Structure 1
Amino acid sequence: MDISVVIPLYNEEESLPELCAWIKRVMDEHQFSYEIIMVDDGSKDKSWQVIQSLKAENEHVTGVRFRRNYGKSAALNVGFAAAQGDVVITMDADLQDSPDEIPELYDRIKNQGADLVSGWKKKRYDPLTKTIPTKLFNSVTRSMSGIDNLHDFNCGLKAYKKDVVKSIEVYGEMHRYIPVLAKWAGFSNIQEQVVQHFPRKYGTTKFGPGRFVKGFLDLMSIFFVGKFAKRPMHFFGPLGVISFLIGIFITIYLIIEKLMSIANGTAYRNVTDQPLFYLSLVAILIGSQLFLTGFIAELVSRNGTDRNKYHIDQVI
């Protein structure tokens, strides 16, 4: 099979028939073998009934329905698990992404060797309350990930080599950071393609302002897990040692200061009367806790079922 189109959706009953017909037209024009995987993320409207009717009309349509709303990342993860095509295309169900982009995306994966091609909505039709925070997150993600050739990490229109979607796990709000997950999994040929962005035709956006807070926390999780999942002591250990040594040095300084005062016969304050004493005490306690946290995390990591799980590219 050439292409799997994965479409996560929530309350998009009006747009689904038009989107499915649009995809079918593009696939038939270019003679692609394909499947359309629609993942209903617990919709409250008639989206599932629409998917059932589309399935009856088009054998290439597959529907997956969640019992409740789990989020876009969960829907994508399930869609990736079900995908069988050599190239996997993801797009939103709101008709803001154009299926006419699929042939070029397919060509860049299949014939030009890209691992992942992310869409860039250079001209957007979203309100400022959505575009400004998105630009901020894109800037931070570029800086932290080192993937500086992408302008829009969160674009729903992306193309993947099949190996990519089978090698990553998407959860939480991590759908916006899939290029970062792909990079950590060893897929380095990540490219970008300028794509069309259309105004929303039906309904309203399903994302609220809370997604930015969750997205930032997931960004921190990605970088911590990606770098230190198999060696947590390398993160907690140095911080703990530095904090502990700072506390020890302050304590030594206070003791020397008191001994010198006694030797010189000058007045001195008790060590416990000085603010530096409590600072040193806090530093020692925090350092000890960080070191022990790293030690315990190391034990957990060593006993994990995936402690020796690595992504292998080829064996000859």
Structure 2
Amino acid sequence: MDISVVVPLYDEVESLPELTTWISRVMDENRFTYEIILVDDGSKDGSWDMILKLKENNPFIKGYKFRRNYGKSAALNTGFAAANGNVIITMDADLQDSPDEIPALYRRITDDQYDLISGWKAKRYDPLSKTIPTKLFNAATRKMSGINNLHDFNCGLKAYRKAVVKNIEVYGEMHRYIPVLAKWAGFTKIGEQVVEHRARKYGRTKFGWSRFINGFLDLLSIFFVGKFGKRPMHFFGAMGTLSFLAGIVITIWMLSEKLYLIAHNRAYRNVTDNPLFYIALVAMILGSQLFLTGFVAELVSRNSVDRNNYQIEETV
């Protein structure tokens, strides 16, 4: 099979007939073999009934329905697990992504041998309250991930080589950082393509301000897990050692100062009367706690069922 189109959706009953018809037309015109995987993330507006109706007339449609709303990441992860195509295309169900982009994205994967192509909506129809925070998050993600050639990590329109989606796990709110997940899994040939952004035709956006807070926290999580997930002691141990040494250095300096004043018969004050004493004490306690945290995290990591789960591209 050439292409699997994965569409996560939540309360998009009005757009589904037009979207699936549009996708099928593009596939037929380009003679692709395909499947459309619609993942209903607990919709309340009759989206699932519409999926069942559409499937009666289109055998290439597959539907998955969650009992409740789990979020876009869960829907994508389910779609990825079900996908059989050599190339997987993801797009939103609100018709703001154009299926006409699919052939070009497909060729970038098959002909140019990219692992992942991320869409970039250079011209957007979103309000400033959405575009400005998005630009800030994208800048922070580029800095922390080292993927400097992407302008929009969170664009829903993306194309993947099959091996990519079968070797990453999307959870929480990590759908915003799938290119980062792919890079940590060893898929480093990541590119970008300018795509059309269409104005929303039906309904309203399902995302609020909380997504920006969650997105920032998830960025920190993915950075830490990707860099130190299999060696937590390198992070906590290093921080703890530095903190403990800082406390030791301050303590030695205070004691040396006191001994010097005593040797020269000069007035001095007790070490415990010096505010630096308490800073040194806190630094040493904090350092010990961080070191022990690293030790415990290392034990947990070594007993994890996937402690030796590494990405092997091929064998002979």
TM-score (norm 1): 0.99
Distance in 1 between the 2:151 and 2:214 partners? 20
- Three-state SS of the structure 1 residue aligned to 2:199 is coil
The residue that corresponds to 1:121 in the other structure is: 121
Distance, in Å, in 2 between the alignment partners of 1:238 and 1:284 is 13
Aligned partner of 1:187 in structure 2 is 187
Q: How far apart, in 2, do the equivalents of 1:59 and 1:48 lie? A: 16
Paired position in structure 1 for 2:157: 157
CA distance in 2, matches of 1:68, 1:235: 37
Following TM superposition, by how much is the alpha carbon of 1:132 offset from its aligned partner in structure 2, in angstroms? 0.5
Q: Which residue of 1 aligns with 2:213?
A: 213
**Shift, 1:44, TM fit:** 1.2
| Alignment correspondent of 2:56 | 56
Distance in 2, Cα, partners of 1:171 & 1:214: 12
The residue type paired with residue 162 of structure 1 is K
Report the Cα distance in structure 1 between the residues aligned to 2:122 and 2:253, rounded to whole angstroms: 58
Instruction: In structure 1, list runs of 5 or more residues that go unmatched.
Output: none
Superposed CA deviations along residues 23-44 of structure 1, whole A, max 9, x for unmatched, are: 0100111111110000000011
Instruction: Using the TM superposition, give the Cα deviation of residue 144 of structure 1 relative to its aligned residue in structure 2, in angstroms.
Output: 1.1
> How far apart are 1:270 and its partner, in Å?
0.9
Question: 1:36-55 maps to which residues of 2 (within 5 A)?
Answer: 36-55=36-55
Matched, 1:14 2:1: no
Residue 278 of structure 1 pairs with residue 278 of structure 2: yes
Is residue 139 of structure 2 the alignment partner of residue 144 of structure 1? no
Distance in 1, matches of 2:307 and 2:144, equals: 25
Q: What is the Cα deviation at residue 238 of structure 1?
A: 1.1
Pairwise CA RMSD: 0.7
Cross-structure match for 1:258: 258
Does 2:192 align with 1:175?
Answer: no
* SS in structure 2 of the partner of residue 168 of structure 1: coil
Deviation at 1:168, TM superposition (A): 0.4
Question: CA-to-partner distance for each residue in 1:106-136, whole Å, 9 max, x for gaps?
Answer: 1111121010000000100001111000011
| 1:132 maps to 2:132 | yes
Note the residue ranges of structure 2 that are not aligned, 5 or more in a row: none
Task: Write the distance in 1 (CA, Å) between the matches of 2:158 and 2:292.
Answer: 42
Counterpart residue identity of residue 172, structure 2 = G
**Residue in structure 2 matched with residue 249 of structure 1 by the alignment:** 249
Match of 2:79 in 1: 79
- CA displacement, residues 212-237 of structure 1 (integer Å, 9 cap, x when unaligned): 11011110111111111111111111
Task: Report the CA distance between 1:267 and its aligned residue.
Answer: 1.6
Question: 1:67 corresponds to which residue?
Answer: 67
Q: Distance in 2 between matches of 1:156 and 1:32?
A: 21
Alpha-carbon displacement from aligned partner over 1:128-172 (angstroms, at most 9, x marks no partner): 111000011111111111111111111000000000000000011
User: Where in structure 1 do 4 or more consecutive aligned residues deviate above 3 Å?
Assistant: none
Q: In percent, how many aligned pairs have the same letter?
A: 72
Q: CA deviation at 1:262?
A: 1.7
Q: Matched residue pairs, number?
A: 316
2-structure distance, mates of 1:251, 1:153: 47
> Within the alignment, does 1:228 sit opposite 2:231 as a pair?
no
1-structure distance, mates of 2:155, 2:282? 45
Q: Which amino acid is 2:121 matched to? A: K
Shift of 1:173: 1.1
Q: Deviations over 1:51-107 (max 9, x none)?
A: 010111101001100111010001000000000000000000000000000011111
Note the alpha carbon deviations across 1:181-211, whole angstroms, 9 max, x for none.
Answer: 0011001110101000100000000000000
Aligned-partner Cα distance in 2 for 1:95–1:54: 17
Matched AA of 2:42: G
- 1-side partners of 2:53 and 2:106: how far apart? 28
2: CA distance between counterparts of 1:265 and 1:193? 76
